A = this chain, B = another copy of it.
Amino acid sequence: MTPALAFFYGGMVRAKGVLNMIMMTVIPMATVGVLWVLFGFSMAFGDSKGFSGSPFQYFGMHDVIGATVGTDPHSIPMFAFAAFQSAFAIIAVALVAGCAADRMKFSAWIVFSALWAILCYFPAANWVFGTGWILNQMKAVDFAGGTAIHINAGAGALALAIVLGKRIGFGSKPMRPHNTTMVMLGATGLWFGWFGFNAGSALGANEVGGWAWINTLLGAGCAFLGWIFVEWIRDGHPTTLGAASGMVAGLVGITPACAAVSPIGAIILGLVVGAICAMAVGLKYKFGYDDSLDVVGVHMVGGFVGTVLIGFLGDPNYMAAAHPAALEAHKAGLFYSGSARLLGTQLVCALAVLFYSFIVSFIIAFVIKKTMGIRISTKQELAGIDLVEHAEAGYDLSNVRYTSMRIRDSLVLPSSPVSPVPADKADSSDTKGTQA
Interface residues, chain A, CB within 8 Å of chain B?
A: 2-3, 6-7, 10, 14-16, 18-19, 22-23, 26-27, 29-31, 33-34, 37, 60-61, 65-66, 76-83, 86, 106, 171-182, 184-185, 188-189, 191-192, 199, 205-207, 209-211, 213-214, 217-218, 220-222, 224-225, 229-230, 232-241, 243, 262-264, 267, 279-280, 282-283, 285-286, 317-318, 321, 386, 389-399, 401, 403-405, 407-408, 410-415, 417-421, 426, 431, 434-435
Contact call A184/B22, Cβ cutoff below 8 A: yes
Q: Report A30 CB to chain B, min CB distance, Å.
A: 3
Contact call B410/A180, Cβ cutoff below 8 A: no
Q: Report A183 CB to chain B, min CB distance, Å.
A: 10
Contact call A396/B178, Cβ cutoff below 8 A: yes
If A33-B217, A83-B217, A396-B176 touch, does A184 touch B267 (CB 8 Å cutoff)? no
Chain B residues contacting A426 (CB-CB under 8 Å) are: 236-237
A-B contacts besides A60-B264, A65-B211, A233-B418, 7 pairs, CB < 8 Å = A14-B396, A18-B181, A33-B221, A174-B403, A230-B414, A236-B420, A279-B413
| Complex partner residue of A239 from B210, B390, B396, B405, CB under 8 angstroms | B390
Give CA–CA (A217, B87) in the complex, Å: 10
Contact call B178/A213, Cβ cutoff below 8 A: no
Q: Smallest CB-CB separation from A41: which chain B residue?
A: B214
Give CA–CA (A60, B315) in the complex, Å: 14
Contact call B210/A82, Cβ cutoff below 8 A: yes
Give CA–CA (A410, B283) in the complex, Å: 11
Chain B residues contacting A191 (CB-CB under 8 Å) are: 3, 29
Q: Smallest CB-CB separation from A226: which chain B residue?
A: B30
Tallying the copies of this chain within the complex gives: 3
Contact call B431/A222, Cβ cutoff below 8 A: no
6 residue pairs, one from A and one from B, having the closest CB atoms: A79-B210, A282-B411, A3-B188, A30-B221, A80-B210, A174-B405
If A10-B181, A182-B181, A232-B435 touch, does A237 touch B408 (CB 8 Å cutoff)? no
Chain B residues contacting A434 (CB-CB under 8 Å) are: 232
| Complex partner residue of A171 from B37, B239, B401, B407, CB under 8 angstroms | B407
Contact call A394/B267, Cβ cutoff below 8 A: no
Chain B residues contacting A280 (CB-CB under 8 Å) are: 412
Q: Report A383 CB to chain B, min CB distance, Å.
A: 11
The interface centre, meaning the residue of A30, A79, A218, A220 with most chain B CB atoms within 10 A of its CB, is: A30
Contact call B19/A180, Cβ cutoff below 8 A: yes
Q: Report A94 CB to chain B, min CB distance, Å.
A: 12
Contact call B235/A412, Cβ cutoff below 8 A: no
Give CA–CA (A263, B39) in the complex, Å: 12
Chain B residues contacting A234 (CB-CB under 8 Å) are: 408, 410-411, 414-415, 419
Contact call A174/B80, Cβ cutoff below 8 A: no
Q: Report A47 CB to chain B, min CB distance, Å.
A: 20
Give CA–CA (A7, B181) in the complex, Å: 8
| Complex partner residue of A30 from B184, B224, B283, CB under 8 angstroms | B224
Chain B residues contacting A391 (CB-CB under 8 Å) are: 235-237, 239
Q: Smallest CB-CB separation from A20: which chain B residue?
A: B240
Q: Report A241 CB to chain B, min CB distance, Å.
A: 7
Q: Smallest CB-CB separation from A16: which chain B residue?
A: B399
Contact call B180/A392, Cβ cutoff below 8 A: yes
Q: Report A74 CB to chain B, min CB distance, Å.
A: 12
If A174-B404, A210-B79 touch, does A61 touch B263 (CB 8 Å cutoff)? yes
Give CA–CA (A206, B68) in the complex, Å: 11
| Complex partner residue of A411 from B205, B285, B408, CB under 8 angstroms | B285
Contact call B397/A267, Cβ cutoff below 8 A: no
Chain B residues contacting A14 (CB-CB under 8 Å) are: 396
| Complex partner residue of A240 from B19, B79, B86, B407, CB under 8 angstroms | B19
Give CA–CA (A131, B344) in the complex, Å: 46
| Complex partner residue of A235 from B217, B224, B419, CB under 8 angstroms | B419
Contact call A408/B235, Cβ cutoff below 8 A: yes
| Complex partner residue of A389 from B27, B188, B237, B318, CB under 8 angstroms | B237
